Structure 1
Amino acid sequence: MNRTARLYALVEELRAVSPRPRSARWLAARFEVSTRTVERDIVALQGAGVPIWAEPGRTGGYVVDRSHTLPPVNLTAAEAVAMAVALHRLAGTPFAAAGGTALRKLLAVLPAADAADARLLAGRVLLIGTGPATSLPAVVADAVSARRVLRLGYADRCGVASSREVEPLGYLGNSRHWYLLAWCRLRNGPRCFRTDRICDVEVLPERVTRELSPADLDVPPERVHRLALV
């Protein structure tokens, strides 16, 4: 069994017995490898975002959170590569890191042969450039879901810096840049902050209670496409 197939099989073995643990020794015997190899494989899976943890003690071992893993996924090689191409365009957006983690989780649970076909096809795809790759601090990427007031150091189009306390409400993206939509307490109104002009950011303890409304968007409604998950 090659390593890709073994990684997939390890996840499925842990899923099958969850929430009971499997020891490294048991898994090593099951897959005919050393315990050290199993431990390296577990670290690789954890690094790919698979929720595996170790339970200590004589009857302990490795456990996977079944509610946060996927059963075998019937993606074709072309579908997997299509997702990778789409995620490539997320560079510089608030969702780049989460998109990469999601793709690694999907690849981890693909059947070994399908994963190998996907990697072979991906190696034949060449891309020039990325999407609107603007710099984006991690706390800004998490701002809307974290629902915390931010103190921004922000430079306007002329390079003039200012400090703003803002209430994050949403994101606005176009073909060139991403913007943080927020209620600006300095201006007492909604503003769009271009993410690559945010110089520094501090998360404040106060929670955001305001919600995004159509009136907050100074854009003709017919030009705005809301993201829908279907």
Structure 2
Amino acid sequence: MRPSARDVQRRLALVPYLQSKQGVSVDEVAREFGVKPRVIRKDVEQLMMTGAGSLGGELIDIDLFAFEDDDRIYISNADFMTRPMRINAGEASALIVALRALRDATSGEHLAVVDSALTKLHDAVGGQATDAVEVVLESVDQGILATVRQALGDRRRLEIVYATLSRDAITTRQVDPIATFVREGHEYLDAWCHLAGGQRYFRLDRIESAEVLDVPVEKRAVPARNADDGFFSPGDGGLRVELAVAPSSRWIVEHYDADVLDDSDDVWTVSLVASDEAWVRRLALRSAGAVRVLAPDSARAQVTEHARSALTAYDGTTSATKET
């Protein structure tokens, strides 16, 4: 499960605390930080994999014998946590670009924190950091963004009206929010969807309305996910299709998050994940020939069959009249 901001803050505060209280018991640390002892044990295990590098002597050192046998914590080799961070112009530029993206996806009191960090970075590197990179995110309704962040902060359920473009439908769902993140210019909500009965990603610019409910989020074990998990994969119940798209229908690429496989000709070959073959059929038939289904064969055959049936009905003929 992705660590929350509260988890990160606690682990950062834990290092100087443990340095000042060598040999403190796990139970005492848990009482001090207001969490259960098992949470502190997990934090300490995480700290053992943290450091200025990945080589011996670069990681935080914990006395394992005291930790495992006596539930007491002795910490060393963690002085790097208190040293001022040194970065070069290239690293500063990367951080500035990331913070600009974060700023575009942030609202409320968090803006001041991001702006403060940006100012400090600019001041630290002077004019060396590049301003050539501009981060552009899809516009998100600020009211909806604020509502989502409120639900996350209060750990409350959300009711959203969501445009599910791959199914060409609008649905009302109740979701338990987990986190938000930015991927390829879009901000997403990671949440447990009660309608789908599973963990799903929702693009914030496709949420038409959002309301915080007076219902706490349910406690459940959810699998660890990163920003590439769960994006339009056939294993998630979708159908991977390949299409030939004429210039007049290239809006499909952006509208349905399609992957461009070949754009060397006027007619592009693209791939996207749809809910089922019926949706693919509707997309192809309403395009008036600007979209052709290349794969899978079953979807292509379905489009051909329905097009032939439509032409037959238009001509005023039926299979029965043709046989007579």
Q: What TM-score comes out, normalization by structure 1 length?
A: 0.46
**Which structure is richer in relative contact order (CA contacts within 8 A, separation 6 or more)?**
1
Larger-Rg structure: 2
TM-score relative to the length of structure 2: 0.35
